[in-house]
């Protein structure tokens, strides 16, 4: 069954650009897939606890002893695993914080990068392969080639690597809304038209990806 997993991670609420964009994508996608399932998880409002040594030991050896892992930790990890496995399309709203991803997203990823999901060397597919993944980001500045901060983007390269390592790189798309601070930071006012264009381009790209 076609199923959409929708993840938001911004610590902001209604003014969050990533939340606005993922909501628009989800609305369009669900209109185009009226019989599909849908799951929502808000990592910004309800962050997942970072893994402990005990949790990591259990994640890498789930058939053995729980190694001190609580039933609540076990249930949470099993729920996250079920959500990712059930999804046929995944949309991730991930703002850039300090040139990389929010720690809440890292905590979510750490529950999923386990031996059962890892792509083996030379393998063409794995347990999570074949899903459509759309990563929606918002950046206060620009990290495009030729800009002053070209090369400072530690968000997309990391996500490409880690999602690819668990089979989620087959149909992985990034949609960036850059220069979002131009609308609110006076010193960046001259960049506001570029920020507006980036946001409009992101909306148009997401509309096409929602088909």
Question: Would you list which residues are annotated within the binding site?
Answer: 10
> Which residue ranges make up the annotated binding site for FMN?
10
What CA–CA distances, in Å, run from 59 to 53, 74, 76, 123?
Answer: 10, 9, 12, 22
Q: How far apart are CA 211 and CA 203, in angstroms?
A: 13
Contact 109, 162 (CB under 8 A): yes
Considering only CA atoms, which of 131, 50, 143 is closest in space to residue 91? 131
Q: Six-digit token pair at 121?
A: 């060397």
């Amino acid at each position: 069954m076609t199923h959409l997993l929708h993840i938001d991670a911004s610590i902001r609420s209604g003014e969050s650009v990533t939340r606005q964009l993922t909501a628009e994508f989800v609305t369009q996608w669900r209109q185009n897939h009226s019989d599909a399932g849908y799951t929502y998880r808000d990592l910004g409002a309800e962050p997942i606890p970072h893994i402990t040594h005990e949790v990591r030991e259990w994640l890498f050896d789930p058939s053995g002893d729980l190694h001190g892992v609580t039933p609540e930790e076990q249930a949470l990890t099993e729920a996250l695993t079920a959500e990712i496995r059930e999804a046929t399309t995944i949309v991730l709203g991930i703002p850039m914080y300090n040139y990389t991803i929010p720690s809440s997203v890292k905590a979510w990823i750490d529950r999923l990068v386990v031996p059962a999901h890892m792509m083996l060397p030379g393998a063409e597919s794995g347990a999570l392969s074949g899903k459509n993944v759309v990563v929606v980001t918002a950046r206060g500045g620009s990290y495009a080639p030729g800009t002053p901060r070209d090369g400072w983007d530690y968000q997309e390269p990391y996500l490409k690597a880690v999602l690819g390592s668990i089979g989620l790189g087959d149909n992985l798309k990034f949609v960036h809304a850059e220069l979002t601070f131009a609308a609110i930071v006076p010193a960046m006012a001259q960049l506001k038209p570029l920020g507006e264009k980036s946001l409009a381009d992101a909306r148009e790209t997401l509309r096409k990806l929602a088909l």
